[in-house]
Structure 1
Amino acid sequence: MRIAMISEHASPLAVLGEQGAGGQGAGDGATGGEGAGGQHVHVAELAAELVGQGHDVRVYTRRDSPALPDAVPTGDGYQVWHVPAGPARRLPSAELLPHLGEFGRWLAGQWRDGGWLPDVAHAHFWTSGLATVHAGRRAGVPVVLTYHALGAAAARRQRDPRHAGPPGRLGYERALGRAVDRVVVQSQEEVGELVRLGVPRSRMALVPAGVNERIFRPDGPVAPRDPARPRVLTVGRLAERMGLQEVVRAMPAVPDAECVIVGGPPVGLLPADGFARRLTALAESCGVADRVRLVGAVPRAELAAWYRSADVLVAAPWHEPFGLTPLEGMACGVPVVGTDVGGIADTVVDGLTGDLVPPRDPRALGVAIRRLLADNVRRFAYATAALDRIRSRYSWRRCAEQLSAVYASVGAAARPAPAMA
């Protein structure tokens, strides 16, 4: 199949030049502007797997720099096209909205007149969805949408209406769910959120994302550590919603263990980062400053070594639509203590591959970490089950196969029935 993937604000090319986890990096770090999260990683690895399964893939992203060429071939066999829509600089979502019609018209013109008409277009994020529906209707191309994050869910989980995004986002998300041919959801929680928005359940296909098992695996280098001190690891951007404050507040309940936080700006810039300074001050007030270490950004190729160095991975966000870092840790054979939110509630099976606790509850978090660190048998059992779960449910191969079936079904529905003889 010919598959167009639209990721207007999160280019997969960022994976090649990323600075590391939590900065412009892997997992749940941020890149490419508001709402990008790990989307650039998701799109890059999904596109590569689809090509590996024999599909012809092009990824379209907005030209946010005048130096970018029209199209860039990648070593994974797909092309990245830079769409001229609006000023050639990075824009927040609110400033992007007026240019999405231009983005859609450019796509429709390319598909109608450029000699390459996709069988299906897969939009990533709601802003991409607006442009893709615009193009799909003009070029006769069926549209699949992955939201990656929903504004209403973010605002409710973070208890702050500002996290809903620009004015009108809720209405756009609702309308898109009814306009596209299929919505690809990534967790059971997202299914419920969309039903509350009024999106028909019949339009949804539950297809969780995958994890790169070539990078994230149990064998390989291990980051240096003190063998006499248990290591608690957390990975992600330095942001309040990631629950890092709760992790630090939980550490007094975990005597002797060290807490390593991977993410944020490069280590040399951490002293200038306001959130990093707040975490350091919190660690001092909790009496655990000597056991909390901020590492800063880590190159994606080195991130697995940090996972493998941990006794327990903690993922404690208040809100997480999918949550890539627990998957990466599980793929490295590390048991997870996570908050019972979003995709983490699906990927981490409580009592089997890890433990789930309520968000914003440092006491429960501390108890769960202490209990797991004290039980070698339980940690080994969790790690073994986590690996089995990754290999059976969360490979990119499985994800691409499931999406291929979705693409085929919407493509078949869009094609006119053959004429009767």
Structure 2
Amino acid sequence: MLTVHTSPLHQPGTGDAGGMNVYILELAKRLAAIDIEVEIFTRATSAALPPLVEPAPGVLVRHVEAGPYEGLAKEDMPGQLCAFTHGLMRAWADHGPGHYDLVHSHYWLSGRVGRLAAARWGVPLVHAMHTMAKVKNAALAGGDTPEPAARVIGETQVSQAADLLIANTGKEADELVRHYGADPARVAVVHPGVDLDRFRPGPSGIVAGRAEARARLGLPQNALIPLFAGRIQPLKAPDLVLHAVARLLEERPTLRERIVVPVVGGPSGSGLAEPKGLQNLAAQLGISDVTLFHPPAGQEQLADWYRAASVLVMPSYSESFGMVAIEAQACGTPVIAAEVGGLPVAVCDGVSGVLVPGHDPANYARALRSFADDPARSARMGAAAARHARTFSWDRAAASTAAAYAAALRDRWGVHASYVAARI
């Protein structure tokens, strides 16, 4: 597996680390559990990093030296792809021909390296876009920076070169065909999963689990708590959450006494230009007193934030899937989400949450008001949300990915790959 610009070992919610980091590591672990060994190559971001890390049996993370360790923006990463490819080939040379059966690249930067590696080794290339420039540019947040033409070109080249493209949803598969001319026969849909052992309601149930999580986090027991969790950048629209809350408090001023709005995450991408921009916006809107800013949380504490919330608010402008939505629902928390990308798959509208068309704060305020006016609604929808989330597991995602690998190998080698298909 190749993930050039961000390591699966990085803390999600910081820098460029997010759902893709979780996806890669969890998928690799589950693939290793079904006897598919995985080596993950990522760029070293510190001289102190060991060359090899084994986060789980059968999974190795290799840190490749390519460019300066720190301070290299994702936009400058293309200039280091040759150095990264050189490091990858050096590792391959230590093993010799035939060591790697398949290349699975993640994000377009990795896809460019993957094209060269797969061709050099004579193995299939499987690629996952995770996000696409043309899709993001068609739904930019106000003031956000468009993805560059170089990315569009790179994504098009990878789409044409890959033996198989993995899409998170049917909609993403359609976008690959429509925007990049991908062959529909070479696109497989694999829904991401969720760690159902970590992200689950409290052992005493949703209501008791919520009370226990709030006690651990120091949150008021009877408050309405709409949570934003994710990277602080225009794409994720955390500002829309604050605007919606401000509007709700204009309509329900007495609600100020019993509302807390946690924002859990750190600046990322174009959000780094104004790292304090969201705090300043809260002050301008007059809601600093009810807004709680918290740095990115580890997975265990993040599960507590989900459990403690009345509802997760996810008003993104673009989401290939929306892993945060599934994690929250697995903890028994309903979701208010934008009706974009893969979120209509991740959230069952009217059952496990509420899908909102467009990005008008008034519509999100209206959705929040339904939870404010009916406090029991959160637990009712939360039970349905937990059931819905259980249909997404990493074991299922790994099995589907293994089947996709087998198909790519069969297409490349024909009957000579039958032994691989039998094993996976």
- The TM-score bracket by the shorter chain reads 0.7 to 0.9
Deviations 1:355-408 (A, max 9, x none): 11123211111111111343356434422222122112x111111111010011
* Deviation at residue 112 of structure 1 after TM alignment: 5.8
Q: Is 1:233 aligned to residue 227 of structure 2?
A: yes
- Any conservation in 1 of the 2:52–2:60 contact (CA below 8 Å)? yes
RMSD: 2.5
- Any conservation in 2 of the 1:105–1:135 contact (CA below 8 Å)? no
Q: Is 1:9 aligned to residue 5 of structure 2?
A: yes
* Deviation at residue 311 of structure 1 after TM alignment: 1.4
Q: Is 1:321 aligned to residue 323 of structure 2?
A: no
Q: Is 1:259 aligned to residue 272 of structure 2?
A: no
Task: Give me the whole-angstrom Cα distance separating, in 2, the residues matched to 1:89 and 1:230.
Answer: 40
Deviations 1:180-230 (A, max 9, x none): 011111133322322222122222111121112222110165033222322
* Deviation at residue 138 of structure 1 after TM alignment: 0.9
Larger helix percent: 2
- Any conservation in 1 of the 2:140–2:146 contact (CA below 8 Å)? no
- Any conservation in 2 of the 1:260–1:293 contact (CA below 8 Å)? yes
| 2:202 corresponds to | 219
- Any conservation in 2 of the 1:311–1:373 contact (CA below 8 Å)? no
Q: Secondary structure at the match of 1:168?
A: helix
Deviations 1:300-340 (A, max 9, x none): 32111111111111111222222221111101000111111
Q: Which moved more, 1:294-303 or 1:46-55?
A: 294-303
| 1:135 corresponds to | 117
Structure 1 residues 185 and 160: alpha-carbon distance in aligned structure 2, compared to 1, 3 A threshold = farther
Which of 174, 177, 197 is the equivalent residue of 2:180?
Answer: 197
Q: Secondary structure at the match of 2:138?
A: helix
Task: Give me the whole-angstrom Cα distance separating, in 2, the residues matched to 1:75 and 1:250.
Answer: 42
| 1:391 corresponds to | 390
Which of 411, 414, 418 is the equivalent residue of 1:413?
Answer: 411
Q: Is 1:100 aligned to residue 84 of structure 2?
A: no
Task: Give me the whole-angstrom Cα distance separating, in 1, the residues matched to 2:243 and 2:69.
Answer: 43
| 1:330 corresponds to | 329
- Any conservation in 1 of the 2:29–2:59 contact (CA below 8 Å)? yes
Task: Give me the whole-angstrom Cα distance separating, in 2, the residues matched to 1:161 and 1:120.
Answer: 40
Structure 1 residues 281 and 297: alpha-carbon distance in aligned structure 2, compared to 1, 3 A threshold = same
| 2:278 corresponds to | 276
Structure 1 residues 293 and 73: alpha-carbon distance in aligned structure 2, compared to 1, 3 A threshold = closer
| 2:207 corresponds to | none
Structure 1 residues 160 and 100: alpha-carbon distance in aligned structure 2, compared to 1, 3 A threshold = farther
Alignment size in residue pairs = 390
Structure 1 residues 228 and 37: alpha-carbon distance in aligned structure 2, compared to 1, 3 A threshold = closer
Q: Secondary structure at the match of 2:313?
A: strand
Structure 1 residues 297 and 86: alpha-carbon distance in aligned structure 2, compared to 1, 3 A threshold = closer
> TM-score if structure 1 supplies the norm length?
0.85
Which of 179, 190, 193 is the equivalent residue of 1:207?
Answer: 190
Deviations 1:84-130 (A, max 9, x none): 34444453344332332443354345446514622221101101011
Aligned counterparts, 1:57-136, within 5 A? 57-89=38-70, 91-108=72-89, 110-111=91-92, 114-115=95-96, 117-136=99-118
Which of 240, 245, 248 is the equivalent residue of 1:246?
Answer: 240
Q: Secondary structure at the match of 2:202?
A: coil
Structure 1 residues 416 and 253: alpha-carbon distance in aligned structure 2, compared to 1, 3 A threshold = closer
- Any conservation in 2 of the 1:93–1:127 contact (CA below 8 Å)? no
> TM-score if structure 2 supplies the norm length?
0.84
Q: Which moved more, 1:69-78 or 1:121-130?
A: 69-78
- Any conservation in 1 of the 2:144–2:234 contact (CA below 8 Å)? no
Identity percentage of aligned residues: 31
Task: Give me the whole-angstrom Cα distance separating, in 2, the residues matched to 1:109 and 1:136.
Answer: 15
- Any conservation in 2 of the 1:243–1:317 contact (CA below 8 Å)? yes
Task: Give me the whole-angstrom Cα distance separating, in 2, the residues matched to 1:373 and 1:120.
Answer: 51
Task: Give me the whole-angstrom Cα distance separating, in 1, the residues matched to 2:291 and 2:79.
Answer: 45
Unaligned runs of 5+ in 2: 204-211, 417-424
Task: Give me the whole-angstrom Cα distance separating, in 2, the residues matched to 1:90 and 1:206.
Answer: 35
